[in-house]
Chain A
Amino acid sequence: MADALLSLRGVKTDIGRYHILHGVEFDVPEDGLTMLLGRNGAGKTTTLRTIMGLWRAAAGEIRFDGRDIARLPTPDIARLGIAYVPESMAIFADLTVQENLVLAARSGPPDPQRLDWIFARFEALKRFWTLPAGNLSGGQKQMLAVARAIIEPRRLLLIDEPTKGLAPAIIANMIAAFRELKDGATTLLVVEQNFAFARQLGDTVAVMDDGRIAHTGTMASFAADEALQAHLLGLGMGEHQ
């Protein structure tokens, strides 16, 4: 297995008086796609937000490329080459599609070739380029949120439920885009509820339960172990198709 680009060790996060993460530990191998799975409320979103510095870890280490980033402010974490797509998408509704992407391209105007590559996968963004993002449909907003994260090459993408509410055709485009990113030396950590999507893309998997990591390993072995899936995710046979 490749070296870990991101490692979490004993990460604890509290939100108010609630203890959400109770010592999360897992590795995200470089240049691969790691799926972070788990039931609702297991702590997946909190884990991503903690990595991004949006919620502070009360204890533990978060190492990115060997450097502890657990105490860094969010902008400094982003500047290390980590992009985040929240579950809420958090697009800027009053800004146009173009402005959303221009803002996300920190180093200057977006690279035209990169834009063409994005438009080839998410054609709607080109069509609605000058429209306020608030006018896009839910699926189009999700495309924009992902496009914003990949408008410039990043080392690590943290993506929270990218397929939520998306039509199958858009999911297929999303899979193609993530595969190409992975082949292009981008590391991805994706939170996902759609196991069919997860098993198609994931190289490795970490499964959370009640604020802890309950299982880590390769996606191939996890996908083959239906009993483990049933135990950790509560999946029935029908959901494996």
Chain B
Amino acid sequence: MKRDWLPLLLVPVVALVALPLVGSATSWVTLTVAGLAMGLMIFIMASGLTLTFGLMDVLNFGHGAFIAVGAFVAASVMLALSPWMTAESIWLNLAAVGPAVLAAMIVSGALGLGFERVIVRPVYGQHLRQILVTTGGLIVAEQLLKVVWGPEQITLSRPTELRGAFLLGDVAIEKYRVLAVAVGLVVFAAMAITLNRTRIGLLIRAGVENGEMVEALGYRIRRLFVGVFVAGSALAGLGGAMWGLYQETITAAIGAQVAVLVFIVIIIGGLGSVGGCFIGALLVGLSANYIGFIAPKVALGSNILLMALILLWRPQGLYPVANR
């Protein structure tokens, strides 16, 4: 089979086109790393959502709730462990960040389980109701966050050893962004291995294409969907924790704000496609950073413009899932 390389080439093409427009090589490297870090954090948050849509045609507009809960739970744990966060030891810093991220994933995953059972399950196969009910779920979750954590924004400082930047000659690369890139790549690799090298991954890929036929082969796709929904929620929690540290401020609206980017990414990638979601996230991250530097006034609309251009080229997204 001819592999479709064109979408893959878009990422280096966008980066190379931006080089002369940015003008300075050092700024370009900094922006590129920042764009990749932002893109990979969005990918972590978006990957579960694209799979749940692919598997069960579920439009979950409440996905931002898992992101926000992840950010708040991680912030609470990190604030509780603030002596370790401020220690000048990478190990103590990680000893604070690790449990915080783990707690964010567990709570978001558990919330996902309840959300699927109470909110999503009654509206399977009804897209309009899914949009209304899951959006309502997001609004309720935001208000509950204000009840539990208060209406004020939480300021969160990064751990001591993850502040500042690595200096490579004239190029400054923020340490936290390097960590975000590393975590994003690990999540992508783990997902790729799970989807391509395991039986459960085979089932998910088949289910995304044709869930009815997977059931006719004797597999209970709803159980699979619940598993993917919970895993996707946990990943959203991880992404929320990382996004909170990236922004260093957390509000109840953090999930809804970043969910806009998440939806742009899964539409660009092709609904149901993890590979497309990965490429889409990198494109969104890179273009947001380049355009924010080159033409700050149009930065806000840059992602919508990117989505429009890609959909004009490929109306089903970069990697449309077969049979959909």
Contact = CB atoms under 8 A, between A and B. Distances in A.
Given A103-B206, A134-B322, A135-B1, A90 B212 contact: yes
Contact of B202 (A95, A132, A135): A95
A74 interface: yes
Given A103-B202, A103-B203, A92 B216 contact: no
A6 B210 CA distance: 27
B106 to A, nearest CB: 30
Interface string A79-96: 100001010001011110
Given A75-B220, A103-B203, A92 B215 contact: no
Contacts of A75: 215, 218-221
A182 B79 CA distance: 70
B205 A90 contact: no
A148 B206 CA distance: 13
B191 to A, nearest CB: 16
B217 A86 contact: no
Contact of A74 (B1, B216, B322): B216
A78 B209 contact: no
B217 A95 contact: no
B323 interface: yes
Using C-beta atoms within 8 Å of the partner chain, give the interface range for chain B: 20 to 34
Interface in B195-237: 199, 202-203, 205-206, 209-210, 212-221
B323 A78 contact: no
Contacts, number: 64
B1 A52 contact: no
B310 interface: no
A95 B206 contact: yes
Contacts of A132: 1
A231 to B, nearest CB: 34
Nearest to B322: A93
A9 interface: no
Contact of B220 (A73, A93, A134): A73
Contacts of B1: 131-132, 134-135
Helix, strand, loop or mixed for chain B's interface?
A: helix
Given A75-B219, A132-B1, A93 B213 contact: no
B321 interface: yes
Most chain A CB within 10 A, of B203, B218, B323, is at B218
B212 A93 contact: no
Nearest to A90: B213
Nearest to A148: B217
A101 to B, nearest CB: 11
A37 B16 CA distance: 62
A108 to B, nearest CB: 10
21 contacts: A52-B216, A54-B212, A74-B212, A75-B219, A75-B220, A75-B221, A78-B217, A78-B218, A86-B213, A86-B216, A90-B210, A90-B212, A90-B216, A90-B323, A92-B205, A92-B213, A92-B322, A94-B205, A94-B322, A134-B1, A134-B322
Given A54-B212, A92-B209, A134-B1, 19 more contacts: A74-B212, A75-B215, A75-B218, A78-B217, A79-B218, A92-B206, A92-B322, A93-B322, A93-B323, A94-B205, A94-B209, A95-B205, A99-B202, A103-B203, A103-B214, A104-B217, A131-B1, A134-B322, A135-B1
Interface of B: 1, 199, 202-203, 205-206, 209-210, 212-221, 321-323
